[in-house]
Every structure is written in structure tokens, then in C-alpha cells.
Amino acid sequence: MGRKYGQHFLSNPSILERIATAACPDGPETELVIEIGPGRGALTEHLLKRARRVVAVEIDTVLVHYLQNKFRDFPNLTILHQDVLKTDLAAYGPAVIAGNLPYYITSPILDRVFAAGGSWQRAVFLVQKEVAERVTAGPGSRDYGYLSVQTRLFSEPRILFAVSRGSFRPPPKVESAVFELVPHEVPAVRDTKAFLRFASACFRQKRKTLRNNLLAAYEKDAVDALPQAGTRAEQLGIEELAAIWIQLAGREIAQGHRAEVES
Ligand code: SAM
């Protein structure tokens, strides 16, 4: 098996069990798990013991055939031969989402999860350790950036445990970690897309001040009027960023331009 599609298979049973337990802490009471990238079904086996139903999304034709054969006696497993980036994760009802992710598309997968709105109950993912640190970082930390803000807009993130390279076949070049996301009932702002465009502008160049980053997108007068203009975005939590955004967006809307910030 090559490394196409970020294929590094977990071979450590205790790690597999820990991921499945984190995804389904209520054991067989867990109604549905959507697994992203089941590969040869190592994690799937553990999830099937803990959930009533598993929907597994795999892109690789060879692996899909392998899985169909391996799990032919499991009517509670649905294997979707599909690109997860084209899968509607909200289509199967309230679900836990889990997986040892293909690392090269971690961010687009998170976009997809967050786009699933109120339909996911928890997410547990194994990813590159640096990415887990960026996803879970809080303001003031070295790793805090756009990905952290996006994550905290929709959920409460937490690193669960590290996974060494030796737990995979073949071993990846990077260290790995498992993190959990618990979704907020309601995101911190109503127009999440417009707010994330603003957040992206704030973190355009991480070492620069808000003023320098925002001048590319907003009127100079409006930016200069911000009390936090000299601050860096990496020091500001969601509530503070949202307050600045509302101040700027309100002003832009009042002046009747910049459709991108209408909320
Ligand atoms: N879950 C298995 C394990 O832990 O042994 C495999 C994990 S491997 C890191 C990632 C899996 O995601 C591979 O099986 C790969 O084929 C699959 N994959 C990669 N890109 C995908 C995509 N866009 N949609 C669905 N599955 C994908």
C-alpha cells in the first residue's frame, strides 16, 4: 500500500481503543459515528463495538473493496466510497465524527465539520501534533491563529493525548496527537462566514498589528479609531475579536459599502 491519500495505518490496539472510547464515552448508547478515512478498518472495528451504527467515508477504491469484504457481516456499518470533502456530514442525523485523518486535508475537513451546523455531537480526530496544537491553542499562545479562532467559534477544543510515530504503519514523518471538539450550541456570532473573513484579515500576517493587517480590508479612519489598533490579533479572544468586528462592520454597513462585512 502506498502513501497516496495520506495513508498511515494505526497498528497500536491501545491507541485505537482510546480513540474509540473518547469518541463514544457512552459506549453502546452512542447512536451514530461518522468515521473519516477508515483505511483498512482498524479504528472501525473498535467503533463498531461502541456505537449502534457507523458510517465510514473512504476515497480509495482498493480500500473500499477491502472494507466491504472485511465487514460483510456488519449490517450496522455503511461504507461510503466518497471524497469526504464532498460529503454532507449533516445528512445522517446527529452524529459523533471521528477518524485518523489524512493529514494533508485536515483544515478542509474541519471546514466541513463546522459546516455541518448543529448536527454533530462531538469530534475526535488524530492529526499531526502541530495542527492539534494550533486547533486547540488559546489567545496569547504561540500557536494561536486563524485555525484556533475558527475552531473556538464553533466548539470547545481539547488535546486528549499524543501518539508516537511507532504506532503507525508506515510511520509518518511527524508526531501526532488526538484532540476532541465539543460543539457550542450556538456560535459566538450569527454571521460566522463574515466574521471568519474578518478573522482571516486580522491574522493575515501574524506578527503585525491589527492596524497593519486590517488596512488592506477596511477604511483607514475606521481602523485608526479602534482602541486595539496597536494590538496583535494573537492576543485577542473570540469575544474581543467579535467586538472589534461589530465596531468595524457596523461602520462599514452604515456607510453602505463593503458587502463582505454585511451581517
Ligand atoms: N483509519 C485508518 C487507520 O487508522 O489505520 C486509516 C487512516 S489514514 C491516516 C487516512 C485514510 O483516509 C486513508 O484510508 C485514506 O485513503 C483516506 N482518505 C484520504 N483522503 C480522503 C478523502 N478525501 N475522503 C475520504 N477518505 C480519504
Residue 228: other Cβ atoms inside 10 A: 17
Closest residue CA from atom 12 of ligand 1: 37
- What pLDDT score does 31 carry? 97
- What pLDDT score does 251 carry? 60
- What pLDDT score does 76 carry? 97
- What pLDDT score does 118 carry? 85
CA–CA distance from 2 to each of 41, 62, 107, 171, 246 (Å)?
17, 11, 23, 12, 49
- What pLDDT score does 256 carry? 41
Asked whether 145 lines ligand 1 (CB < 6 A), one says: no
| Atom of ligand 1 minimally distant from the CA of 35 | 1
* Element of type H or E holding 126: strand 120-128
Closest residue CA from atom 1 of ligand 1: 38
Closest residue CA from atom 19 of ligand 1: 5
- Residue 81, strand partner residues: 58
Task: Report the Cα 222 to chain-centroid distance in Å.
Answer: 32
Prediction pTM value: 0.93
- What pLDDT score does 258 carry? 41
Kindly give the distance from the C-alpha atom of residue 197 to the centroid of ligand 1, in angstroms, as a whole number: 29
Closest residue CA from atom 6 of ligand 1: 39
Residue 27: other Cβ atoms inside 10 A: 11
Kindly give the distance from the C-alpha atom of residue 94 to the centroid of ligand 1, in angstroms, as a whole number: 22
Radius of gyration of the chain, Cα coordinates, nearest whole angstrom: 20
Kindly give the distance from the C-alpha atom of residue 121 to the centroid of ligand 1, in angstroms, as a whole number: 22
Asked whether 60 lines ligand 1 (CB < 6 A), one says: yes
Asked whether 57 lines ligand 1 (CB < 6 A), one says: yes
Positions in the chain short of pLDDT 70? 1-3, 251-263
- What pLDDT score does 3 carry? 59
Asked whether 147 lines ligand 1 (CB < 6 A), one says: no
Kindly give the distance from the C-alpha atom of residue 14 to the centroid of ligand 1, in angstroms, as a whole number: 20
